Structure 1
């Protein structure tokens, strides 16, 4: 799971990031509306955790931008303001859930997992398509009940494809989803081809169809109509 945390309290932001990282959640952060807009327009996220009170405006003003540019993202509002009006406004604008500060980090993680299961996995703990099963909770993928021996990046890549079936994903979008803010340190994106090549080889060797299709000059897509 990859999330964007928009929170201006540095200590809280660091605590959330450290905790989520410890349970396998990839977390990018920013502390104001201006920087958040840049990330929302460029990157893709499974969830956006959004504070209302930000130094340069209300986090609620970002919800429309998130809904337009992050079609598959869940929005979880966190705020110290405990008024019914704030909750209703946020939910009516398109947020999926609301958590009032202070909260336990384990509860935040549980809420994010619940939203992910509901919106990305269709309410199940396991994402299934034909002979492929992916379990984000235990980081396991299988073909016809046989476990695949995948690296962490290969697993994340397969999950990214399966939650974006039949959508063309550019190399830059793939890199930003898997590496986030660290993409600035990368000389080029040639390694994406190698990761995808290895993933395709392992899937096909296990007896699955070759669903990952190259869209020349653009990127790749998980083609649900692929034939053996």
Structure 2
């Protein structure tokens, strides 16, 4: 699960990142409005922790952008203890929950998990994310095509899930690389490994007679071009 933490307090941001990383999350931190906006619009996140008071902007403005762009990320507002109006505006603006400073990291984790379960992305039920003949179990990290187990690596599972959750959106190679491997890919000159992972995933899906929904968008990246199956 990929999480973006928008927090301008370096110590708190580092503590959250360290804790969530130990819990198995891929966690990125932005300490300004500008950095967070760039990340939100260029990468996909399952969950976003949104601090409201920032040195260069307001987190509620980012929440509006998230909703305007139809970004499916779950949003948890981080607010000051006395900021009742901010909490109300955040929830009315589409945030999924809020947490008040100071907080225990275990409570933060519980709230994130609850948001993720409630969001049920891409028609999921519980830990199952389904689209047409594709089924992904986020607990066991198993993927199925037409009820047949797909023999894929963890990275290929994460890639397929990223495509399904972001279907019909163009995903750049950089966005895919960052989602799967984290921020350290930002300075890489060559992203050919993304092409190789996409190629392997396509081949394995085809072996089970699955539909190839992945379109190459030349010069940009890839798009999981999908329409729901007729019922």
Query: How high is the TM-score relative to the length of structure 1?
Result: 0.85
Distance in 2, matches of 1:94 and 1:29, equals 21
In the alignment, what sits opposite 1:99? 99
In the alignment, what sits opposite 1:182? 184
* 8 Å contact kept, 2:156–2:197: yes
| Distance verdict in 2 for CA 1:70–1:8, change over 3 Å | farther
Structure 2 residue matching 1:113: 3-state secondary structure = helix
Selected match of 1:169 from 168, 171, 184: 171
Superposition deviation, residue 71 in structure 1: 1.8
Superposition deviation, residue 131 in structure 1: 2.5
Q: Spell out the pairing of 1:111-122 with structure 2 (5 A cutoff).
A: 111-119=111-119, 120-122=121-123
In the alignment, what sits opposite 1:17? 17
In the alignment, what sits opposite 1:8? 8
Task: Give per-residue Cα distances to partners, 1:73-130, cap 9 Å, x unaligned.
Answer: 2221012324432211211233221112233323323322332333324462210123
The runs of 5 or more residues in structure 2 that have no matched partner are none
Length, aligned pairs only: 227
Superposition deviation, residue 70 in structure 1: 5.9
Task: Give per-residue Cα distances to partners, 1:117-149, cap 9 Å, x unaligned.
Answer: 333244622101233211223322223444333
* 8 Å contact kept, 2:79–2:100: yes
Query: How high is the TM-score relative to the length of structure 2?
Result: 0.84
Structure 1 outlier segments of 4+, above 6 Å: none
Which shifted more, 70-79 or 37-46? 37-46
Superposition deviation, residue 161 in structure 1: 0.8
Which shifted more, 216-225 or 45-54? 216-225
Q: CA RMSD in A?
A: 2.6
Distance in 2, matches of 1:194 and 1:11, equals 38
Task: Give per-residue Cα distances to partners, 1:28-74, cap 9 Å, x unaligned.
Answer: 10222233233234333222101123334442333223333462222
In the alignment, what sits opposite 1:135? 137
Structure 2 residue matching 1:64: 3-state secondary structure = helix
Structure 1 residue matching 2:114: 3-state secondary structure = helix
* 8 Å contact kept, 1:74–1:96: yes
Distance in 2, matches of 1:139 and 1:38, equals 29
Distance in 1, matches of 2:224 and 2:41, equals 23
Distance in 1, matches of 2:42 and 2:227, equals 29
